Amino acid sequence: MNLGEKLFELRKAKNLTQDEVAEKLNVTRQTISKWETNQSAPDFDKIVPLCELYEISPNELLIGEKQEQETANNEKSDGLSSKEAKKHIFIPGKDNKDNYENMTRNQIKQKSAEIVSSSILIFFFAIAFAALGTTVIMWNPVIVGCIFLVLIGWGVTRIVKHYMSVPKFEKTKEEEKQDKILKQINDIIRGIGVAIYFIVSFITMAWYITWVIFIIIGMFEQIVKLIFTLKGDDGDEE
C-alpha cells in the first residue's frame, strides 16, 4: 500500500470527508485529493498534524509505507526505477518554488510579497525608462514605447499568474476586515487618479501620453496591497 492509499484508508476509517480534513490541516480540498492520489505528498510540517488527526505515529505512516514500497518494488518485474518510485516525494525548496498546493498560508503570503514588490520595481523602471528614453537618451519614441509596454506587460503577467495560481483559503474575520479596508483605499486611489488624469489631460492636451497615469494608479494599488500583505505577515508571527 503506497502513501496515497494509506491516507485514503485512514481518512475513511475516521469517517471524514476531504473537505473536513482540509479544514483541520488548513489546506485546500484539492491538496488532500492530490495526496490521496499520489499526485503530490504532504509537506513535512503537515506530517505531525496528519498523524495526530488519524491517531497514528509518524513512523507508522512514513517508515511503514517505505517498507511496503520496497517489498512491492522487489516483487515487481516491470523494472520500475527508484527515481520513478520517489517521484511523489515532496522536496522542500524545490517543489515550493512553483507548487502552491504544498505551501502554507505564510509561505504564500511571502511569495505574494516577493512577486508584488519585484513587479512594482519593474513598473518604476519602465516609467523611468520611458521618461529618460525620450528626453535624455533621445531614442526613437516608438522603440521607447515598445520597450515600455513590454516591461509593463511583464510585471502585470507576473502578478496575474501568481494570483491565479494561489489556492483559495477560507478567510478569517481579520482578513475579511482587511480586504474591506483595502478595497475602500483602492477605490479612493482610483477616484483621485481618474480626476488627476482628466485635469492633466485637459490642461496639457497630451492625451497620447497621459494614459500612463492609469499605470501609476495600478502601481499605487499594488503598493497598498503589498503593505497589507506584510502587515498580515506581522500579525501571523505575533
- Contact indicator for 112, 162 with CB cutoff of 8 Å: yes
Model confidence at 136, in pLDDT bands (50, 70, 90)? confident
Q: How far apart are CA 223 and CA 203, in angstroms?
A: 28
Would you state the pLDDT for residue 233?
54
Would you state the pLDDT for residue 85?
39
Neighbour count for residue 73 (Cβ, 10 Å): 14
pLDDT in tens, 23-68: 888 888 888 888 888 888 887 778 888 888 888 887 777 765 444 4
pTM above 0.85, yes or no: no
pLDDT in tens, 90-127: 444 444 445 666 667 777 778 888 888 888 888 888 88
Long-range contacts of 176-184 (CB under 8 A, 24+ apart): 178/228, 178/231, 178/232, 181/228, 182/224, 182/225, 182/228
Is the model's pLDDT at 197 over the cut of 80? yes
**Residue 209 is placed in which grid cell?**
501620453
